[in-house]
Amino acid sequence: MTTSHYIAGRWVEGQGSDCISVNDPALGQPFAELMAASVEQVDQAVAAARTALPAWKSTGASERAAYLRGFAEQLGQRREALITLQMRNNGKPRHEAEIDLDDAIATFGYYAELAEQLPVKNRDVPLAAPGFTARTRLEPVGVVGLIVPWNFPLVTSAWKLAPALAAGCTVVLKPSEVTPLVEQAYGQIADTLGLPAGVLNIVNGKAETGAALSSHHGLDKLSFTGSNSVGSQVMRSASAQCRPVTLELGGKSAIVVFDDCDVDQAVEWIVAGISWNAGQMCSATSRLLVQDGIADALLQRLQAALENLRVGNPLTEEVEMGPLTSQAQWLKVASYFATAREEGLQCLAGGKALDRDGWFVSPTLYADVPKDSRLWAEEIFGPVLCARRFATEQQAIAEANDSRFGLVATVCTADLERAERVADALEVGHVWINSVQAVFVETSWGGTKGSGIGRELGPWGLSGYQSVKHVTRCLG
């Protein structure tokens, strides 16, 4: 794994000072190593993207669409290898790894269709003043840096890569150092398809590599998905260049369950919202607000459901939840268990690391958590659910909105008029009603407040990589 960087259409060895150890979280052991890219190699990747930009943005929209469909097809041909790698490096159960791959394939297919609609670049703009004409032109924003996280590799990169390439941008992709291997497939596919050199570049590394990319003067835009702490650093780097950014950051999302809801269905939606990817989701609905009339019955069944959740190594067992992806995340979640004990929280299920090899924790439920608890307010990024009771719809909305984050929410009720009313009142970017967290490429993804800037997916994802130009002509 020494030739781990794809720069200007060639695989090259890392020349940085960091050695990246790639781990199997179910065993807590490394299975691959690679050398990080140097700062000079980041420079080379950006330069390659800059060189490739004029020809790529002039490439016909139908040709760019053909490349995108090629990515979708090639991902499908690598299906079993990519699924296995997601299971081994991320600890994802098979059904989750399969959905991730299908999501990436669908994303490239969707943006291929949007790319074919791009020939209509010029639109006339009616003017009130006589003697002038005006038109609007959409152009690629230029060279973009893409920094993606470890919890959904392959997927998050597809959400950024596909619209950027569709718009006519050239890119430098930096995967997470925790999960760097699966994104190598994009470079391999670029080789297979004959994608012009420099259109896609991949550099691996730790914080030094990310900082070199996010502060690089050769970028025209940066798109980052990750933690708020790193996101703020990325935003500071971008501000020095007055460069646009898209930031998809953290969340502390609420699931609101009214007392007319079927208890068994509610338990299914709640468990999915906190246990998918072992709770390592910015969209995890980790704050449960349950109406008084149903609270006791729901918490009792929820306790049983979490205690019976099958947790284990996805490569050797039939499991519903795998390990946490890194030791650092395992230690972080364990520290919140300690905080819960210090705060005297009522633990109905879990609340501990599992006594076995690997970075496993138990699915956890705390009841009647006070609003001043750290566990209620802070993003834990693990399968840790905190519950509170409410009496009225107005109280539920107020408590759900009482957060510095605003990514997603879920509403569970048999009263569909109330569901729509509450959804409209929630200060978030995406709301599910009586559903698991189904994400479709045609919809938007992003949040309000501290959950980020901008939107991904749908036509909004494409527009994030486009620049608007107006041309006004005097007729006199």
| Catalytic residue IDs | 248, 282
Burial class from Cβ neighbours inside 10 Å (0-12, 13-18, 19+) for residue 382 reads: buried
137: alpha, beta or left? (left if phi > 0; alpha if psi -120 to 50): beta
Residue 266 in 3-state DSSP?
A: helix
State how far the alpha carbon of 187 is from the alpha carbons of 149, 152, 363, in Å: 18, 18, 37
Is 12 buried (19+), middle (13-18) or exposed (0-12) by CB count in 10 A?
middle
Q: Cα separation of 12 and 5, whole Å? A: 5
Helix axis angle, 292-307 relative to 263-275, nearest 10°?
50
CA atoms within 13 A of residue 200's CA, in its CB half-sphere? 29
Q: Is 198 left (phi over 0), alpha (psi -120 to 50) or beta?
A: left
Radius of gyration of the chain (CA): 23
**Residues 433 and 420 sit within 8 Å (Cβ to Cβ):** yes
CB 359 within 8 A of CB 324: yes
Q: CA-CA distance, 375 to 336, in Å (whole number)?
A: 7
User: Residue 136's CB: how many other CB atoms inside 10 A?
Assistant: 13
| CA-wise closest residue to 57 among 134, 144, 154, 183 | 144
**CA diameter of the chain:** 82
Contact 4, 204 (CB under 8 A): yes
Give the span between the Cα atoms of 405 and 36, in whole angstroms.
Answer: 33
Tokens of 218: 């050769």
Give, to the nearest 10 degrees, the angle between helix 61-77 and helix 79-90. Answer: 70
Match 């003067």 to its residue by tokens. 217
Nearest CA among 152, 182, 213 for reference residue 4: 182
